[in-house]
Amino acid sequence: MNIHSNWGLIYEGVSDLYISVERYKLLSVLFYDMKFDFIPYIIRTMDTDYIDLKIIKALADNARTSMAELARVLKLSPPTVAERVKRLEEAGIITGYSVAIDYEALGFPVAAWIRIRAVPGELKRVSDIIKSRPEIVYCDRITGEDCFIARAYVRKQADLEALLDELIPYAMTNTSIIQSSPVSPRLRGLSKQP
């Protein structure tokens, strides 16, 4: 069953719905009693379409893709693609462009996830230590028993131990060495079930 409207396309059983918050609220009221087995994605408050999502996917796969190449793939003119990219940037959907790094090839073969629980009153100090250590390349503040989860890359186990030794006076840590990464960083599926 397809429902076409000026609010977007809804496909039963498929989560290809990209709508603004206001339209989502309206659709929630209109289709409250209908049985949809998906949760629609809301991308900020900007209406995006299939072409925008293809642009996002292409740039996520290769941030160095030229506007001309994107235009060829999408069968659009380069100025049209450039305008769409600019609009996605201005809306805060595309926030930057990056490069993927192989830390092992750079001489940092030991990768670890570190769960960090600051002792009472030391949260700021622990946060400052985490920010100051170049071994830590990624860190999130999280809910639950721990305060932070950080990813670190080091040359050898002794370097990881030195990092942990700096944290231990102010936090409890739990470290897991990464054996492999079956899912490397990727764009969260925009058209698959959540």
CA distances from 11 to 19, 57, 122, 183 (A): 13, 21, 50, 28
pTM of the model: 0.66
Tell whether the model's pLDDT for residue 88 goes beyond 50.
yes
Q: 76, 30, 109: which is closest to 40 by C-alpha?
A: 30
Q: What percent of the chain has pLDDT over 90?
A: 59
Mean model confidence pLDDT for the chain: 79
Domains of the chain: 2-90 (1.10.10.10), 110-177 (3.30.70.920)
- Model confidence at 126, in pLDDT bands (50, 70, 90)? very high
pLDDT in tens, 174-192: 999 999 999 887 777 665 3
Q: 150, 128, 129: which is closest to 139 by C-alpha?
A: 150
- Model confidence at 49, in pLDDT bands (50, 70, 90)? confident
Q: At what angle do helices 78-90 and 50-61 cross, to 10 degrees?
A: 90
Q: Position of tokens 């996917």?
A: 57
CA 129 to CA 116: how far, in whole Å?
11
CA 71 to CA 184: how far, in whole Å?
27
What token pair was written down for 122?
Answer: 């030391």
Residue 188's region, left for phi above 0, alpha for psi from -120 to 50, else beta, is beta
